[in-house]
């Protein structure tokens, strides 16, 4: 029983999830995305064991950590690099996503100095309004990259659902397929068509993924086992590969309504409460500094998350037959947002089990 809040990662379940996702996507290369786990090498290995062909991350620090752990596969940088980091990017990464020619110019110069070639995925914005050039800008971008040398235009890609919530469908993925065909004719060679992230799995399962889409960048669905469109479980995937345990530090019967004049809480909001009479509540040693309370689902459905301060998580445990003991841990399954925060928090332990 851990003495502090601890995340446990079942690597066997992540490997099984990766294999299942590969079965959903015949003919599609999967770039496994590790950023939600801060580039944990253990997670990267588990995803590769499940059939991923490359690793993608948005932070050079994470990629360097995986290199240091002895992972030598193609690495993709999933965030455009600032020109000042071009040398580090070329040293650590094989393929970069790009939409600004000034960044590609810096990468080309760094590649020339290092005596290597660097791959570029031209990112096109198809409506989600995160990154990517507009489709009309693509021809000039392709010509500019081709003129630079020292970089190879290896593909065209898009991001959907992550910012604007736009769902991949026959229209936007069909437009990506059309742009890819135009790009291939212009550059004179076949290219990867990177049709988005985990949200494109739903399109594949519905039979709407264009045949030309031959690459996806997938993290959340492998790690958490859910659709990123609906957050419902995907068929046959584990949704509990990552769990959290946090120890109870107080358990008492208290009123459900605060006593006194209510002003702002520690985070600038005015809280609203429902008077349910006296209820037994527990406090766990974890808080908003570690994860958003709305992203923590108790494994025991009789427990209700009430809220949190920076380092206290308040739970209603009145429906449990016995009150939890002090020091006993409560288990949770985190959402994507909570998983991201938990792995980033230095105050949360990380344990890896079940590697194949």
Residue 322 has a pLDDT of 96
Average pLDDT, the chain: 96
Cα distances from 353 to residues 15, 66, 343, in angstroms, run 12, 18, 16
Q: Residue ranges of the domains in the chain? A: 11-224, 242-353
pLDDT over 70 (residue 262): yes
Q: Bigger pLDDT: 275 or 223?
A: 223
**What is the pairing mode between strands 29-33 and 215-218?**
parallel
Tokens 């760094």 identify what position? 110
Residue 154 has a pLDDT of 97
Instruction: Please list, in sequence order, all residues whose beta carbon lies within 8 angstroms of the beta carbon of residue 21, skipping any fewer than 6 positions away.
Output: 30, 50, 201, 218, 221, 222, 234, 237
**Portion of the chain with pLDDT greater than 70, in percent:** 100
267: tokens are 């985070």
Q: Is 350 annotated as catalytic?
A: no
Which tens digit of pLDDT belongs to each residue from 26-49?
Answer: 999 999 999 999 999 999 999 999
pLDDT over 90 (residue 158): yes
User: What is the dotted CATH code of the domain comprising 11-224?
Assistant: 3.20.20.10
Cα separation, 250 vs 326, in Å, equals 6
Mean pLDDT of 273-299: 95
Mean pLDDT of 165-179: 95
pLDDT over 80 (residue 209): yes
pTM of the model: 0.94
pLDDT over 70 (residue 203): yes
Residue 257 has a pLDDT of 84
State phi, psi for 295 to the nearest 5 degrees. -95, 10
SS3 312: coil
Instruction: Please list, in sequence order, all residues whose beta carbon lies within 8 angstroms of the beta carbon of residue 262, skipping any fewer than 6 positions away.
Output: 270, 271
Residue 274 has a pLDDT of 84
Q: How distant is the alpha carbon of residue 91 from its chain centre?
A: 24
pLDDT over 70 (residue 217): yes
Residue 328 has a pLDDT of 97
**pLDDT category of residue 259 using cuts at 50, 70 and 90:** confident
User: What is the dotted CATH code of the domain comprising 242-353?
Assistant: 2.40.37.10
Residue 258 has a pLDDT of 85
Which tens digit of pLDDT belongs to each residue from 91-124?
Answer: 999 999 999 999 999 999 999 999 999 999 999 9
SS3 143: helix
Cα separation, 332 vs 311, in Å, equals 16
pLDDT over 70 (residue 356): no
Mean pLDDT of 59-72: 98
pLDDT over 90 (residue 333): yes
Instruction: Please list, in sequence order, all residues whose beta carbon lies within 8 angstroms of the beta carbon of residue 259, skipping any fewer than 6 positions away.
Output: none
Catalytic residue among 13, 35, 252, 254: 35
Mean pLDDT of 236-251: 98
């Amino acid at each position: 029983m851990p003495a502090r809040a601890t995340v446990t990662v079942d690597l066997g379940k992540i490997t099984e999830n990766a294999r299942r996702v590969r079965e959903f996507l015949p003919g599609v290369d999967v770039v496994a995305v590790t950023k939600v786990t801060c580039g944990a090498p253990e997670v990267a290995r588990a995803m590769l064991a499940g059939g991923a062909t490359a690793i993608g991350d948005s932070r050079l620090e994470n990629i360097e950590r995986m290199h240091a752990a002895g992972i030598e596969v193609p690495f993709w940088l999933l965030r455009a690099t600032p020109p000042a980091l071009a040398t580090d990017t070329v040293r650590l990464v094989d393929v970069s996503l790009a939409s600004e020619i000034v960044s590609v110019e810096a990468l080309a110069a760094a590649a020339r100095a290092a005596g290597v070639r660097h791959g570029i995925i031209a990112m096109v914005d198809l409506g989600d309004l995160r990154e990517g050039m507009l489709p009309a800008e693509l021809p000039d971008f392709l010509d500019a990259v081709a003129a630079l040398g020292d970089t190879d235009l290896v593909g065209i890609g898009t991001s959907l659902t992550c910012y604007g919530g736009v769902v991949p469908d026959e229209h936007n993925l069909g437009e990506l397929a059309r742009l890819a065909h135009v790009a291939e004719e212009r550059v004179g060679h076949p290219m990867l068509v990177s049709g988005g992230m985990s949200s494109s799995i739903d399109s594949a399962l519905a039979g709407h993924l264009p045949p030309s889409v031959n690459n996806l960048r997938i993290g959340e669905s492998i790690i958490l086992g859910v659709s990123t469109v609906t957050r419902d479980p995907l068929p046959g995937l584990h949704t509990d590969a990552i769990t959290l345990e946090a120890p109870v530090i107080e358990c008492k019967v208290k009123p459900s309504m605060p006593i006194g004049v209510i002003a702002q809480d520690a985070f600038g909001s005015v809280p609203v409460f429902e008077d349910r009479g006296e209820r037994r509540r527990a406090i766990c040693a974890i808080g908003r500094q570690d994860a958003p309370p709305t992203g923590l689902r108790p494994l025991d459905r009789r427990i209700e998350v009430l809220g949190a301060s920076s380092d206290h998580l308040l739970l209603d445990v009145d429906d449990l037959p016995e009150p939890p003991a002090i020091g006993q841990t409560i288990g949770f399954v985190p959402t994507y947002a909570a998983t991201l925060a938990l792995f980033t928090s230095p105050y949360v332990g990380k344990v890896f089990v079940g590697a194949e």
